Structure 1
Amino acid sequence: MAFDADEEILQDFLVEAGEILELLSEQLVDLEQHPEDSDLLNAIFRGFHTVKGGAGFLQLDALVNCCHSAENVFDTLRNHKRTVTSDLMDVVLQALDNVNAMFDEVRNREEPTPAPQSLIATLDQYALPEGESPVDAPGDSPARPADDAVAAAAEEDHGDITDEEFEQLLDALEDGKGKAGDSACEDAGSIEGAGSSNSDDISDDEFEDLLDQLHGKGRFSGEVASTDVPDPDAGGQPEAEKPAAADDKKASGGDSDLITDDEFERLLDELHGKGKSPAHSAGDEKPGNSAPQPASDGPAANKSEPATQPTEASARPTPAAKAATPARDSQAQAETSVRVDTKRLDDIMNMVGELVLVRNRLQRLGSESEDSEMHKAVSNLDVVTTDLQSAVMATRMQPIKKVFGRFPRVVRDLARNLKKEINLVMHGEDTDLDKNLVEALADPLVHLVRNSVDHGIEMPDVREQAGKPRQGTVTLSAEQEGDHILLSIEDDGGGMDPEKLRRKAVEKGIYDQDAADRLTDNECFNLIFAAGFSTKDQISDVSGRGVGMDVVKTKISQLNGQVHVESKPGKGTAIRIKVPLTLAIMPTLMIMLGNQSFALPLVNVVEIFHLDLSKKNVVDGRECIVVRDKVFPLFHIKRWLVPSDTGTAEPENAHVVIVAMGTRQVGFVVDQLVGQEEVVIKPLGRALQGTPGMAGATITGDGRIALIIDVPSLLQHYG
């Protein structure tokens, strides 16, 4: 492998191939549902072909071989020589897994591990037309690489052919035409020899010999009769071709003798027609269609130069091939995007965060000033800072599809393993959220989707007996609501039985019988997030150990999010997640406990009111308050967070902040309410890391340091 290759080229390959492989996983599952979709077949073929081309340029032979075998399968499928079956898709998906594994090794600068030979052999078996076996078609094997290489080049409607791919094309043609005769062998040898002396450029003679091998001498004639085409070795040319060739040479953007990538693509299209195989020659064109015009191509224009004169290709050093690039780029559309390192975006976001803190400080100072010009300047700064903050946040946004794209494969494999029939429906895939959240949500959502498939959807026979269709449906959706994202995972399965959950809670020792009987249905549903809790009676390789859902709840809480469960027996279950758009800047409610400032994440705050503490009640040894006929547990968080004030007398009146975690709501007693403020989360110092109930720290508008409260962690540790 060429790890010493240009780092920029390697990075381009990693980015492009990574996007293609992510898309392939979704496309392959979609193909199984729509096996006759020719556009999808072509897209998958091009995906494997593009990855193979990039891997070949970097000399990743193991990756090339696996992609080539998979590519051959889809060449057979799109030519309707074989039909898509579940067994075939199992093999192709296994090949994709191997390609992904090799791709990860390349990303880590490791030599890729070749795919098992048994897998390659199975792919090659499926690459043959239906009913044939490798033994039945021994004669097809030698010519296959040449056919594949030419067909792949002809099929591509866009993209560039690399020097490596062109060399492989020449080698494949030489192998495929090896038995055609001594003269053909000599021609192929001359091409190989010329290619080895100057591997980057192709001379006029080499290109003419290539055309002769493809179609036979004199067959590439366009509208001119074959008898009028002179021998390319003689350096002549029909007069009818010269004017058009000269015009095309001017249009190509330069006087260079080099053939550009676009010219080569157009030549292949004219030789075979867009999307056709090499078998479709110019003589097969229908009468209503005009024959291809070789004179309109760049290579034909090159014929006007005497073949005996030295070309620029032979006079220039190897990098001369790049000289053709500006001509190609000048005709293409201007670049509309730029690739930026995510660390640079993080640095910019951090600087914007600091600017927000300065803005808050100036706003506090401006409110104390009577200077109208100061007020105007601070207001303008506030507007500009807010717009800049939104713009920078937008650059960090990624569509949730980056996460959703993996689920068709997850559901497909799990359904086949469990012998279930499941249809996955996705909505809102273009919803944007912070890239850090996209990465953080991947594992929790995988747990929830697997849980819906395993626990939620019943077996097909059970669904039929219940009057449902045999195929169950799992719906995954995302939408933006203000500065939050709402995610939901719904299934139309059997739902959850609150009574069964109560019994399990008592068996696991989570609650005693009396406490379990007092649980509401929603509280029973939230029991699935308790550590070690599972409704499965038998442990399998999919679930049953009670590990996973508690991790989901913890992870969502770390993202300052909430999880809510709804279920109806016999109808299905819906799990809804609410997370902030970004983790960098958080809207909070600033409070005072004694002389210390604290920040409560606004996402947890439900309501605020003033309370006469003499009206509180005690239930089961815990202080409670009743608001609008609802009972809320009451916690004096000052006793937890400001220990020095433990022995002070309690005031008769206090402010109470009702906070929510999922379906649970409690009241926090605070000394003073400061107001709403956007804060930038700063990590705690080494001495304070791991402090229960603390999510981080920030600097307030008056310049003081405030600790940010992690509500779930605070209650779990103290309450």
Structure 2
Amino acid sequence: MDSHRAAFVAEAEDGITDLNNALLALEADPEDAEAMDDVFRVAHTLKGNAAAMGYEDVSDFGHALEDLLDAVRQGDREVTPELMDLLFEGVDTVEAMVSEIADTGDVSTDPSDLEGRLREMEEHGTVGGGDEDGDTAEGDSGTDAGDADASADDEGADDGDAGADAGEPEEDSGDADDVSVPDLPDAAAALDDPVAYADVTIGETAMAGVDAALVVQALGNQFGEYVTVPDAEALEDGEYDERFDAFVGDADPDVVAEGIGALTQVESIATAGVENGEDGEAGDEDGESTEAGDAAETDDAEATADDDDPDTASDTDDTDDTADGADAEEEDTTEAEDDASDSGSSSDSKSGDEIKSIRVDVDQVDELYGLVEQLVTSRIKLRRELEELNAQSDALDELDKLASSLQDTAMDMRLIPFSQVSDSFPRLVRDISRDLDKRIDFEIEGDDVELDRTILTEMRDPLVHVLRNAVDHGIETPEEREAAGKDPTGHVRLTAERERDHVIIEVADDGGGLDPDQLREKAVDEGVKSREAVDAMEDDEVYDLVFHPGFSTAEEVTDVSGRGVGMDVVRTTARDLDGSVSVESEPGEGTTVRFRLPVTVAIVKVMFVDVGGTEYGIPIKSIAEVARADDVEEVHGDEIVRHEDDLYPVIRLNERLANSGAAAAGSGVGAGGPGQSEAAAGDEAGAATTDDDTASATTDGGVTDEGMLVRIREETRQVALHCDAVLDQEEVVVKPLDGPLSGTPGLSGTAVLGDGDVVAVLDVVSL
């Protein structure tokens, strides 16, 4: 995909998301003028960008959307469910066309049927019937000019501004006696008589270049010959001060006012006739001129003095034919060029100040990140080789700092706000709730929280599954909610919150909740668990049954959910990302699905431990303390260790890993043993801190007869892991497990060391 098409697609996709959310806000409050403005602005931008790129199908269809929105904005059409459904269908069609452009560069979707329905809604207020006031289109003498324009557009009469209401209040066709006509620029000398002058005002806009480009395009489509001051290229670059001059050849001023004034981009327009040739000769050497020329010079002089507009100042430079006039012209032109140069410098400076970010293709970011991973591995290998030679190098220490800084920067570049995914969810919830005849109030909090792009990409589908379940299974119908004494409108809330190096994402609803006894019966009926097993389960454990493959609480299968697929994928995806998912519920009160995900992936600092002759890594971020295993106690048959009046259960890794199959997995990935002598391990363990102010190492030896304990942070999991020895710690590149090893309990991935050894990295949460 070429850069221009890629930029168009990226901006269009952002615009589609914004348009969906703006339409949702308008649907929620039809009187919200700000929401209406947002809808119209985004739709206008989409249409303008498509026209600028030459995608006429998208532009023409966007024009139909924009005309209908304009009818709503002008108060000619009410916001009804039928109208909103049609607008949302239109947005979906635009999204499909943009997707085709992204894939092939061309549009194959034919939107003519929907475009016709949009026009019908604009003209009559409904689809498939007459006018909403009971009048039919045929024979209605009161049909407004906007409807006539729309009809003309359907016949191809007006490619640039069809369907707009020519009687909009902001139009001002002006009167020749009230309009000050500037001198014709040299470029206008070739225009055919009669020449119409138009003073076009765009007004304040965030899209000056796009708005002006669309007006220029309409001039060309409707009239053919025209000249603008500033010229068309400058206008498309936004280089004008809210207004500009246009000279149209072989045109009537009233026709120009009607055609251009109908454009939604035009705030006002004043027109007048001008004789080509006569007005081009503005005056004699003494500065005398015709009345029109005199007025023009006065007007331009005032405009120059008041607005300091170099473009307007230069308009008078072409009027003198005498030597004195030529001198004056040269002087004025020089001043105007100087002003323009100063203005350009100011503009460049301003633009330079405003450019705070650049658009970079994600493949380039991924490539950079891959190179950083290789650099980290090479740095580890180099340090090990120097240690084997008992060599010291200050340059290597400096390389460590530079590589760490580069690594942090590369990882930060991969972080994107949660809103990149969550912005599409309000439309999703809206559509599902309408399909199910439910009322949903959907809220999003924490959409500015940042996560790794890979994590967000992988989590989008699981979140869609959970939201669908919340609306379908969780929220009751309005009648059921009222019978239960609830507000007939259900509430679904999606939140994201940063906790240290993890992000907590929750989907909560205030629906009927999960009945643990019903879940137990379902589990037995479907053969998921035995009666004895479910009776022995706590409610919290019972809720986890929803993640079992094929398990569903739905009474019937719907188009939305209830097929027993999805929630098992949700848990698998979360675990593959080194995260977790859990369910909390209260019957009659609602359900909360909580995800705990790492902010970033791949490069982490780990501590290596020896378990039965095999080396494993434990993420440093999870470790609170390393100590000798000589204070282990047994309470009620379970091993524990005390720390500041808290009891930490002891997990013996050799037993737990063997039982979970992680030991075999660890061996299978090529872990080649501790890689150090016990003496060396003992020397290393004295420095086995976690590089964190809250962590400590309370041992002077890495291996004892009793072994070593690695106490995990309380907020992560209140346990102490028993191992045979603590080795060393390094920053490594962690690769997720693929294939048959994917989802192995207790393992989060593998790390490739500098000497080529592959070490399994433990997941302390799922051990």
- With the length of structure 2 as denominator, give the TM-score of the two structures: 0.68
Shift of residue 165, structure 1, vs aligned partner = 3.2
Deviates more, 1:449-458 or 1:691-700: 691-700
* 1:242 maps to 2:297: yes
Q: Report the Cα distance in structure 2 between the residues aligned to 1:129 and 1:31, rounded to whole angstroms.
A: 21
Structure 1: 5+ residue runs without aligned partners? 175-187, 220-224, 252-292, 309-322, 646-650
Shift of residue 349, structure 1, vs aligned partner = 2.1
Q: Report the Cα distance in structure 2 between the residues aligned to 1:326 and 1:485, rounded to whole angstroms.
A: 46
* 1:76 maps to 2:71: yes
2:373 paired residue among 335, 343, 353 = 353
Q: Report the Cα distance in structure 2 between the residues aligned to 1:434 and 1:76, rounded to whole angstroms.
A: 43
Native 8 Å contact 2:19 2:42 kept in 1: yes
Q: Report the Cα distance in structure 1 between the residues aligned to 2:758 and 2:561, rounded to whole angstroms.
A: 42
C-alpha spacing 1:600/1:437, structure 2 compared with 1 (3 Å): same
Structure 2: 5+ residue runs without aligned partners? 126-131, 151-160, 171-200, 236-244, 262-269, 283-291, 322-340, 642-646, 672-703
Q: Report the Cα distance in structure 1 between the residues aligned to 2:706 and 2:302, rounded to whole angstroms.
A: 91
The aligned counterpart of 2:318 is 305
C-alpha spacing 1:589/1:415, structure 2 compared with 1 (3 Å): farther
Aligned amino acid, residue 415 of structure 1: S
1:63 paired residue among 58, 64, 71 = 58
Q: Report the Cα distance in structure 2 between the residues aligned to 1:664 and 1:483, rounded to whole angstroms.
A: 15
Q: Report the Cα distance in structure 1 between the residues aligned to 2:550 and 2:625, rounded to whole angstroms.
A: 33
Aligned amino acid, residue 157 of structure 1: T
Shift of residue 338, structure 1, vs aligned partner = 1.8
Deviates more, 1:61-70 or 1:141-150: 141-150
Aligned amino acid, residue 40 of structure 1: A
Q: Report the Cα distance in structure 2 between the residues aligned to 1:631 and 1:501, rounded to whole angstroms.
A: 32
Q: Report the Cα distance in structure 1 between the residues aligned to 2:636 and 2:530, rounded to whole angstroms.
A: 21
Report the 3-state secondary structure (helix = DSSP H, G, I; strand = E; otherwise coil) of the residue aligned with 2:351.
coil
Cα shift readout 1:278-316 (whole Å, capped 9, x = no counterpart): xxxxxxxxxxxxxxx9996836853653599xxxxxxxx
Q: Report the Cα distance in structure 1 between the residues aligned to 2:719 and 2:537, rounded to whole angstroms.
A: 16
1:679 paired residue among 732, 736, 739 = 732
Shift of residue 407, structure 1, vs aligned partner = 0.9
Q: Report the Cα distance in structure 2 between the residues aligned to 1:501 and 1:557, rounded to whole angstroms.
A: 23
C-alpha spacing 1:714/1:204, structure 2 compared with 1 (3 Å): closer
Shift of residue 364, structure 1, vs aligned partner = 6.7
Report the 3-state secondary structure (helix = DSSP H, G, I; strand = E; otherwise coil) of the residue aligned with 1:87.
helix
Q: Report the Cα distance in structure 2 between the residues aligned to 1:385 and 1:658, rounded to whole angstroms.
A: 30
Cα shift readout 1:88-147 (whole Å, capped 9, x = no counterpart): 111110111111001000001253234443322221122237536644438644534357
Q: Report the Cα distance in structure 1 between the residues aligned to 2:316 and 2:254, rounded to whole angstroms.
A: 14
1:11 paired residue among 6, 9, 12 = 6
C-alpha spacing 1:123/1:233, structure 2 compared with 1 (3 Å): farther
Q: Report the Cα distance in structure 2 between the residues aligned to 1:512 and 1:678, rounded to whole angstroms.
A: 45
* 1:432 maps to 2:450: yes
* 1:518 maps to 2:536: yes
The aligned counterpart of 2:361 is 341
The aligned counterpart of 1:143 is 149
Report the 3-state secondary structure (helix = DSSP H, G, I; strand = E; otherwise coil) of the residue aligned with 1:234.
coil
Shift of residue 473, structure 1, vs aligned partner = 0.9
C-alpha spacing 1:34/1:50, structure 2 compared with 1 (3 Å): same
The aligned counterpart of 2:214 is 165
Q: Report the Cα distance in structure 2 between the residues aligned to 1:582 and 1:462, rounded to whole angstroms.
A: 43
Deviates more, 1:589-598 or 1:667-676: 667-676
**What pairs with 1:630-645 in structure 2 (closer than 5 Å)?**
634-637=655-658, 640=664, 641-642=666-667
C-alpha spacing 1:445/1:204, structure 2 compared with 1 (3 Å): closer
Q: Report the Cα distance in structure 2 between the residues aligned to 1:328 and 1:215, rounded to whole angstroms.
A: 34
Deviates more, 1:547-556 or 1:454-463: 454-463
C-alpha spacing 1:573/1:307, structure 2 compared with 1 (3 Å): farther
Q: RMSD over aligned Cα, in angstroms?
A: 4.7
More helix by share: 1
C-alpha spacing 1:669/1:416, structure 2 compared with 1 (3 Å): same
Shift of residue 663, structure 1, vs aligned partner = 11
Report the 3-state secondary structure (helix = DSSP H, G, I; strand = E; otherwise coil) of the residue aligned with 1:577.
strand
C-alpha spacing 1:71/1:384, structure 2 compared with 1 (3 Å): same
The aligned counterpart of 1:39 is 34
Report the 3-state secondary structure (helix = DSSP H, G, I; strand = E; otherwise coil) of the residue aligned with 2:104.
coil
Deviates more, 1:465-474 or 1:238-247: 238-247
1:388 paired residue among 387, 398, 406 = 406
The aligned counterpart of 1:317 is none
Q: Report the Cα distance in structure 1 between the residues aligned to 2:500 and 2:233, rounded to whole angstroms.
A: 55
Q: Report the Cα distance in structure 1 between the residues aligned to 2:26 and 2:592, rounded to whole angstroms.
A: 28
1:419 paired residue among 423, 434, 437 = 437
C-alpha spacing 1:82/1:147, structure 2 compared with 1 (3 Å): closer
Shift of residue 230, structure 1, vs aligned partner = 5.9
Shift of residue 653, structure 1, vs aligned partner = 4.1
Report the 3-state secondary structure (helix = DSSP H, G, I; strand = E; otherwise coil) of the residue aligned with 1:333.
helix
Q: Indicate the percent of aligned positions where both proteins have the same amino acid.
A: 30
Shift of residue 398, structure 1, vs aligned partner = 1.0
**What pairs with 1:165-314 in structure 2 (closer than 5 Å)?**
165-166=214-215, 168-170=217-219, 174=222, 188=223, 205-206=247-248, 213-215=255-257, 231=275, 233-235=277-279, 236=282, 237-242=292-297, 245=300, 298=311, 301-302=314-315, 305=318
The aligned counterpart of 2:470 is 452
Shift of residue 538, structure 1, vs aligned partner = 1.1
- With the length of structure 1 as denominator, give the TM-score of the two structures: 0.73
Cα shift readout 1:614-670 (whole Å, capped 9, x = no counterpart): 999999xxxx7567596979424385244999xxxxx9844566899x999999764
Q: Report the Cα distance in structure 2 between the residues aligned to 1:677 and 1:670, rounded to whole angstroms.
A: 18
Shift of residue 579, structure 1, vs aligned partner = 1.0
Q: Report the Cα distance in structure 2 between the residues aligned to 1:99 and 1:385, rounded to whole angstroms.
A: 45
Shift of residue 519, structure 1, vs aligned partner = 0.9
Aligned amino acid, residue 305 of structure 1: D
Aligned amino acid, residue 149 of structure 2: A
Q: Report the Cα distance in structure 2 between the residues aligned to 1:331 and 1:695, rounded to whole angstroms.
A: 49
Aligned amino acid, residue 297 of structure 2: K
Report the 3-state secondary structure (helix = DSSP H, G, I; strand = E; otherwise coil) of the residue aligned with 2:570.
helix
Cα shift readout 1:445-490 (whole Å, capped 9, x = no counterpart): 1111111111211222222222221111111111211111111111
Native 8 Å contact 1:363 1:378 kept in 2: yes
Shift of residue 576, structure 1, vs aligned partner = 1.3
